[in-house]
Chains A and B, each alone.
Chain A
């Protein structure tokens, strides 16, 4: 057994002269769940196809468990790697069970037939994916999501040390999407390897220990989700403004994307607490503004968002009033800013923070994030430009 399940060196693939992947180097260890993420057309599917040897690269080598994929027969590749395609074109009404049985093809000799091992593998794969309930229905009569699970069952029945998945959750409801990824996670926890192209960044962050960020035919970043995903990498690869934080429910990376605005970055201080202020901080941070917040109570959602985005913040211990030093620190941050945003109605004790010489915009708690962006952009130029939910002071 080689150290790496899959090793890719200097891989270049082009279709009709247009490069789709260029100079890709990637090594995938045994027992890891790797999420391939990237915008549409980044080359994720091409990378998966190159790994299983169905396209011939222009340059570079791909090794599967130590052997170059080009030196392996189709049958040998089929015993090492199973793949779950996005969809299948099967237009003949085979029963679901027969489609899953086809996963055993690389293990059966030309003149042989299914033995007890094959039957067991097929049954276990069908139970694991929950397709045994409709095992005798024709594949042409099951829904798109059920079909996706049949394809997963087929790949599991193949009994390979590695699994490639192309958008395994794309056609599934949220329940089956989670169950599918849990199943793959379990497969990896048993020591096998999975590589999945996943569009849902949060799902990828939640289930994969390694994220490979692909864009423009190149690998832009490889590492744990928390290291790979940040505002800058999402902006660079997806051309979207995003706030990258922690999902309070799962603790895994949460990515909230917004349309690109092409904002001119400014130094902004935000005063406020609770979810409305957190929304303002997320949106302004995603747009690329240089933010500070405070004072905020320790444990408030705004404090959490500030920590996620690594922003300077003045923190007050829970259930305490802001004391003199807190107010002084906040005033310093506000005075250094180009714009101060005040969300809701701050306590009287924060008057000094709200009334610095810096242009200040007051925002009601039910604001539209786009209006906050507009207010920041125009705070010191044209006071009348603010929308009805935003009041200048």
Chain B
């Protein structure tokens, strides 16, 4: 089919762009590394399962048999060890986190713009970002110990807990979902959620949470700097575990959104017409809202509030590939990944590092003004 062919073609092109941007970005920094070297480092790090090895483990009084998978790397390019460590430990986690967060925010932004039938909507419209900010700032200001030592039979004493950084992310994630659910609950009456009510409930909740954030900042004292850094969006603390968590959360949610892309097209006609065309409107809206809130929460929990990615990327891609969500959603998501990697590269390659949220806003706001002044939004 024509749509499928166009979707695959555009997505392949934008995926290639994303890979290129990632490779180039990994070479940029105080130590310049040629893209070919970056590729060799990354290929060397790839592993494939090579076999299974039986072993045993001594656990207290018992000896437990274990099975472990043995991996081997198919590549062994000669590379500079310093370069390897810079790419693998410093730059790549941050770049991949930027790519995944950009992907998630642009996907959620595309869905929200379709959902609200308004090209000015963005992922934070249902309070997700504000909720995440309250969660994160609250955790920074009022630190809660999330560590404990638990005695387990057979295994013995185990320390469980999360680091401070992971705690911030966890609380941001919970805050984001709580805010989104609150907005949804406020706007839902008798099983129906009118989008206009949802929009206004979102504005009200964002305003209220804004007041909470301001109050927490006043109480912050020493930690104010970290709060400001979080609120502006940051990727500097990215770790491989952040990449792993987002890489597990984002793709399944994105697939849910993609499955509903055609329903989203029909919803643009208006809910009553969509119902007449066989869409179970309220159920579809709930699924789209939940998946968008989760995918946005997964992004902002690890990167802080990064504006404009979810607003301008879908808009730009709509100008290029058209409004059909079956094509727009994957292309906007991939372009969002490339955009955030590029913006973060810019943020860290200056003399003093700036929060990436400043870069996206500085690039995004002028583009937004351009859109306002061009014919593209006059129809609204």
| Residues in chain A within 8 A of chain B (CB atoms) | 49, 52-54, 73-79, 81-83, 85, 88-95, 98-99, 102-103, 105-106, 108, 110-111, 113-114, 140, 158
Quick check: is B277 within 8 A (CB to CB) of the other chain?
yes
The total of interchain contacts (Cβ-Cβ below 8 angstroms) comes to 84
In the complex, the answer to whether A54 meets B379 with C-beta atoms within 8 Å is no
Question: A78-B278, A79-B278, A102-B277 known; A91 and B117 CB under 8 Å?
Answer: yes
Q: Is B278 within 8 A of A92, CB to CB?
A: no
Secondary structure of the B contact surface, majority rule:
loop
Do the beta carbons of B277 and A158 come within 8 Å of each other? yes
Q: Is the CB of A102 within 8 A of B269?
A: yes
A110–B323 alpha-carbon span in the complex (Å): 20
Task: Say if the beta carbon of B155 comes within 8 Å of chain A.
Answer: no
**A110 touches which of B119, B259, B273 (Cβ 8 Å):** B259
Q: Flag B110-124 by CB within 8 Å of A: 1 or 0 each.
A: 000010011100000
Q: Which residues of A contact B281 (CB under 8 A)?
A: 74
Contacts of B259 in A (CB 8 A): 110-111
Does B268 lie within 8 Å of A90, measured CB to CB?
yes
| CB-CB nearest in chain B for A53 | B275
Q: Report B273-328 residues with CB < 8 Å from chain A CB.
A: 273, 275-281, 318, 322-324
Are the CB atoms of A92 and B323 closer together than 8 Å? yes
Q: Please, how many angstroms separate the alpha-carbon atoms of A52 and B273 in the complex?
A: 10
Residue in contact with B276 in the complex, picked from A54, A113, A114, A140, CB distance below 8 Å: A54
B380 touches A91 (CB 8 A): yes
Answer whether A114 and B322 are a contact pair too, CB < 8 Å, given A85-B272, A89-B269, A105-B277: no
Q: A81-B276, A94-B265 are in contact. List 8 more A-B contacts (CB 8 A).
A: A53-B275, A73-B278, A73-B280, A74-B280, A75-B278, A77-B278, A90-B268, A98-B265
Chain A residue nearest to B265 (CB atoms) is A102
**Contact between chains at B324 and A94 (CB < 8 Å):** yes
Q: Say whether B262 faces chain A, with CB atoms less than 8 Å apart.
A: yes
Number of chain B residues whose Cβ lies closer than 8 Å to a Cβ of chain A = 29
**CB-defined contacts of B117 to chain A, threshold 8 Å:** 89, 91-92
Q: In the bound complex, do residue B324 and residue A77 qualify as a contact, i.e. CB atoms below 8 Å apart?
A: no
Task: Identify the interface centre among B114, B117, B268: most chain A CB within 10 Å of its CB.
Answer: B268
Q: Does B1 count as interface, using CB distance less than 8 angstroms?
A: yes
Q: Is the CB of B272 within 8 A of A105?
A: no
Assess whether B276 is in contact with A102, with CB atoms less than 8 Å apart: no
How many angstroms from the CA of A98 to the CA of B3 in the assembled complex?
Answer: 10
B266 interface residue per 8 A CB criterion: yes
Question: By the criterion CB–CB under 8 Å, are B1 and A114 in contact?
Answer: yes
Q: Which residues of B contact A78 (CB under 8 A)?
A: 276-278
Contact A102-B266, Cβ < 8 Å, known A91-B117, A94-B324: yes
Q: What 10 pairs across the A-B complex have the smallest Cβ distances?
A: A78-B278, A106-B278, A75-B278, A92-B323, A105-B277, A89-B270, A74-B278, A113-B1, A74-B280, A83-B276
Q: Which residues of A contact B273 (CB under 8 A)?
A: 83, 85, 88
Interface contact B3-A113, CB-CB below 8 Å:
yes
> Could you tell me if A54 and B275 are in contact, using CB atoms closer than 8 angstroms?
yes
In the assembled complex, the CB of B2 is this many whole angstroms from the nearest CB of chain A, namely: 9
With known contacts A94-B323, A113-B3, A88–B269 Cβ distance under 8 A: yes
Tell me, in angstroms, the Cα distance from A85 to B270 when the chains sit together: 11
Contacts of B82 in A (CB 8 A): none
- Please name all residues of chain A whose beta carbon is closer than 8 Å to the beta carbon of B276 when the two chains form the complex: 52, 54, 74, 77-78, 81-83
> Closest residue to B271 on the A side, CB-wise?
A54
Q: How far is the CB of B323 from chain A (nearest CB, A)?
A: 4
B369 contacts partner chain A, Cβ-Cβ < 8 Å: no
B64 within 8 A of A: no
B144 within 8 A of A: no
| Contact across chains for B270 and A93 when beta carbons are under 8 A apart | no
Q: For B278, what are the chain A residues with a Cβ–Cβ distance below 8 Å?
A: 73-79, 105-106
Nearest CB of chain A from residue B110's CB, rounded to whole Å: 11
A88 touches which of B270, B280, B318 (Cβ 8 Å): B270
Contact of A74 among B114, B275, B318, B379 (CB under 8 A): B275
Q: How far is the CA of A245 from the CA of B40 in the complex (A)?
A: 90
B379 & A91 in contact (Cβ 8 Å cutoff): yes
Interface centre among A78, A102, A106, A111 (most CB of B within 10 A): A102
Q: Is B218 in contact with chain A by the CB < 8 A criterion?
A: no
Residues of B close to A93: CB separation below 8 A? 322-323
Given A77-B278, A90-B269, A102-B266, A113:B4 Cβ within 8 A? yes
Residues of A within 8 A of B275 (CB): 52-54, 74
Do residues B268 and A105 form an inter-chain contact, with CB atoms below 8 A?
A: no
A353 to chain B, nearest CB (A): 62
**A53→B279 CA distance, assembly (Å):** 13
B270 and A105 contact, CB distance less than 8 A: no
Q: Which of B90-141 contact A (CB under 8 A)?
A: 114, 117-119
**Can you name the residue of chain A whose Cβ is closest to the Cβ of B325?**
A92
B residues in contact with A108, CB < 8 Å: 262
Contacts A78-B276, A105-B278, A111-B259; is A98 near B266 (CB within 8 Å)? no
Central interface residue in B118, B269, B275, by most chain A CB within 10 Å: B269
Considering the complex, give the chain B residue whose CB is closest to the CB of A79: B278
| Alpha-carbon distance between A79 and B279 when the two chains are bound, in angstroms | 12
Note all chain A residues with C-beta closer than 8 A to B379: 91, 140
Tell me the bound Cα distance from A105 to B281 in angstroms. 13
